Amino acid sequence: MSLSSPVTTRSKLPDVGTTIFTVIGQLSAQHNAINLSQGAPNFACDARLVAGVTRAMEEGHNQYAPMTGLPALKERIAGKIAALYGTRYDVDHEVLITASASQGIYSAIGGLVHPGDEVIYFEPSFDSYAPIVRLQGATPVAIKLTVPDFSVNWDEVRAAITPRTRMIYCQYAA
């Protein structure tokens, strides 16, 4: 293949079509509505935040962080969890900082799940989580939360567990 030859690409997830977030984004623009489905506010960032970030960067806080996160941030998060829930975590082994929830979830699933495994997750769910499982060569197993309170049917979860189950992923606020 020469550098001038066209490159053919092939998706690992050809069945993933338009996501609900694309549809909601288009509809909110069409109807001049506020889009609450994504982290894309249509207003300016608070000037105090801009000033704080600017000050931090001017003070030299603009380098790559350690791979597991800044120790001071990990300590603050562990302290907040302890204050809220009375649960203590070892910041060196049980607290990890990622750039986003999706990145952290992708990393966790990618590091623990292998081809042929199964991952149980609950629906409704963010639409990228099942494809992340499929990218690992594993099978996502959906358990629908029970309406009207979106509770977990634990008998259904127990029935879904097989010898191939590697992970049960809970992405909802309990």
Residue where one domain finishes, among candidates 27, 42, 63: 63
Average pLDDT of adjacent 10-residue blocks, the chain of 174 residues: 74 76 85 78 88 96 90 96 96 92 92 97 88 96 91 96 96 60
Q: Which range marks the domain in which residue 55 is found?
A: 17-63
Question: What's 150-165 look like in SS3?
Answer: CECCHHHHHHHCCCCE
Total domain count, the chain: 2
pTM: 0.73
With respect to residue 74, please indicate whether it lies within any of the assigned structural domains: no
The β-bridge partners of 165 are 118
CA atoms lying within 13 Å on the CB side of residue 145: 15
Q: Would 121 be classed as within a structural domain?
A: yes
pLDDT given for residue 28 in this prediction: 86
Q: At 173, is the secondary structure helix, strand, or coil?
A: coil
In a domain, 76, yes or no: no
Angstrom distances, CA of residue 116 to CA of 72, 146, 163: 39, 28, 11
